[in-house]
Amino acid sequence: MTRRDGKRAPYDVFWAAPETGAAWAELPGAALEVIARCDAERLEVERSRVAPGLRASISEPVYSVADRVASWERAVRRMEPGWSSEDFYPISAYGNDLDSRDALGELMRAMPLEVREGALGQLLARLDARFRGASVPDSERSLCAWVRPTKEKPEVELGEWWKRKPVRLPWG
């Protein structure tokens, strides 16, 4: 994105994710420290996947905790009536958002109780409820040909989001 002065605008992780931005502003320092450790671990994973000459140029993880939560909020908002954004959202991005929700579940289980039950846990619970409200059970797994988890798991271990389909298709 380019600003009016011609310079590149900084990436806003909370674009179109106002609830995530508000929750982040309210997180206590202890929660932010735990999240920073998670992001540091993720950064090392992402750096390990690129050529050695590029590693030092990567200073923040693409898939930070904030980015994953904001992406989940945007995915849910796209499914709800009233989303009017003209941004391109292919079905593969939907699968990526479901994978991110899986990763958030793993991260939250590793977080201290005060983070899991605090603003971040409450936000995820609200977003998950909204997701359920904007989707229906998909017992036939009709999206399976296009939307699959990146990690092989038995059906019973998949998060509920893999077993539902949007009422309003966000990629349509």
Q: State the pLDDT at residue 78.
A: 95
The answer, as to whether pTM is greater than 0.85, is yes
- 3-state class of 165 per DSSP? strand
Mutual angle of helices 119-133 and 65-79, in 10-degree steps: 30
Q: State the pLDDT at residue 153.
A: 83
| Bridge partner residues of 137 (DSSP) | 164
Q: State the pLDDT at residue 4.
A: 57
Q: State the pLDDT at residue 3.
A: 47
- pLDDT cut 90: percent of the chain above it: 75
Please identify every stretch of the chain with a pLDDT value under 50, giving residue numbers as ranges: 1-3
Alpha-carbon distance 72 to 165, whole Å? Answer: 15
**Amino acid, single-letter form, for residue 110:** A
- 3-state class of 137 per DSSP? strand
Q: State the pLDDT at residue 11.
A: 76
Alpha-carbon distance 160 to 158, whole Å? Answer: 6
